[in-house]
Amino acid sequence: MNVGVISLGCVKNRVDTEEMLFFLQKDGFRFVSDPADAEVLIVNTCGFIAPAKEESVDAILEMAQHKKTGRCRVLCVTGCLAQRYGKELLEEIPEIDVLTGVSQYPQLSEYIRSALKGHRAGSTARGRDFAGCGRVLTTAPYSAYVRIAEGCDNRCAYCAIPLIRGGFRSRKQDSILDEMRGLAAQGAKEQILISQDTSRYGADLEGVSLPGLLLEAEKISGIQWLRVLYCYPDETSRELIDAMAGSEKICRYLDLPLQHASPAVLKRMKRRGDIGEIRDMLLYAREKGFALRTTVMVGFPGETDREFQELMDFCAFVQFDRLGAFAFSPEEGTPAFDMQDQIPEEEKQRRLGLLLQIQQRISLKRNRLRIGENAEILITGRKDNDFLGRSRWEAPDSDGLIRVKSALPLKEGQIIRARITGASEYDLKAEASAQSGGKDESAQ
């Protein structure tokens, strides 16, 4: 049967989708890109914040129309929103035939076949087992995400991830390394380690840690760039920074979601760590040549003008190369949902706009400092007369691009050297020399 899949949300959800596709392919299902051609439609949902929930529900309703106008016989809803609101979804959207949470992807084929016989099928029982399996990559073949842990123990006051994904558990190191070797054999020269709390990796296992995993991973033939995303501030040590800085393969790119910089707000958020020590560690990483990325939240309950200004001042001082920001969204089941002094939505958006204006100027300044740099660039496509790419300082799906001019043709997935010649707030320009333009640096 033909299967169409819509994957929403974060890159961790993308990995779920890729594993889901592996099980379906193994059981003989075929994949199509046009929902109108699919006999089975799957929506892998996100349930993190209100806009993501709304997007997921809209996608479910849109796909449900194909049961009337297309070939769809089975509509499946999976993932975080299904895990959290499965009962409500089944009650409100009768077109759903299969509903599963985040632990039942190996059983999805069985549920689909049951639905074809007229039975509404599925489960949202959360499993504790966490091991790797095969993948059908939805990324370009030269770049792949590798999930090293699942769940979260941090219990931040605003976050529903522990309610959805359960407690933190690391994946066995041998399983991770085996998957990375397989991906490298398929051509994945850039591999990106992810989890809800990547820096905690190995805390629940004996004899392993994130620095140790990186040390083993960089030995794998075929991997040229190793990238680490989503480190928790007080778990990111100078030892980790030094280990990353001492490797030729590990990208000097530190992604450290801070959420805020006011000690009082961080305390209400139930975030650990001393913001002064975190600032010093960020500056240490910059001295080591790292790009600095963070994510922050404005409008948390009780956030005063002074506390918001503390966040603004911190960001202006550190000068993050990359910054993502969003307004607080009250999530059911979290402590912050019932907190007093909720900030009006209009004020949250005003503060968000002010922060993004400042960051836009900082981003432009930081990008302009790179003009003249001779950068290693991974070519990711072409637009108009330019090739598109990323350096070690740009993560996929979240950061800007580099527009590369080359007198010689370049191939997608090729790694070249080019000189940075221009900068805007988010993107860069570069020129490949006649010598480096046609040369695949990945062969070295």
* pLDDT higher than threshold 50 for residue 204: yes
Residue keyed to tokens 């073949």: 141
Assign domain 374-443 to its CATH architecture: Beta Barrel (2.40)
CA distance 247 to 388: 26
* pLDDT higher than threshold 90 for residue 75: yes
Domain coordinates in residue numbering, the chain: 2-123, 143-368, 374-443
Mean pLDDT, the chain, rounded, equals: 93
pLDDT at 49: 84
Q: What percent of the chain has pLDDT over 70?
A: 96
pLDDT at 434: 65
* pLDDT higher than threshold 80 for residue 442: no
What is the pLDDT confidence band of residue 132, given thresholds at 50, 70 and 90? Answer: low
pLDDT tens digits, one per residue of 18-35? 999 999 999 999 999 999
CA 285 to the chain's CA centroid: 21
* pLDDT higher than threshold 60 for residue 441: no
* pLDDT higher than threshold 70 for residue 382: yes
* pLDDT higher than threshold 90 for residue 435: no
* pLDDT higher than threshold 90 for residue 148: yes
**pTM higher than the cut 0.95:** no
* pLDDT higher than threshold 60 for residue 304: yes
pLDDT tens digits, one per residue of 212-241? 999 999 999 999 999 999 999 999 999 999
Mean per-residue pLDDT, 396-420? 95
* pLDDT higher than threshold 60 for residue 439: no
What is the pLDDT confidence band of residue 131, given thresholds at 50, 70 and 90? Answer: low
pLDDT tens digits, one per residue of 38-73? 999 999 999 888 889 999 999 999 999 999 998 999
* pLDDT higher than threshold 50 for residue 361: yes
CATH number assigned to the domain covering 2-123: 3.40.50.12160
pLDDT at 70: 87
What is the pLDDT confidence band of residue 356, given thresholds at 50, 70 and 90? Answer: very high
CA distance 154 to 402: 36
CA distance 200 to 175: 17
Provide the CATH topology of domain 143-368: pyruvate-formate lyase- activating enzyme (3.80.30)
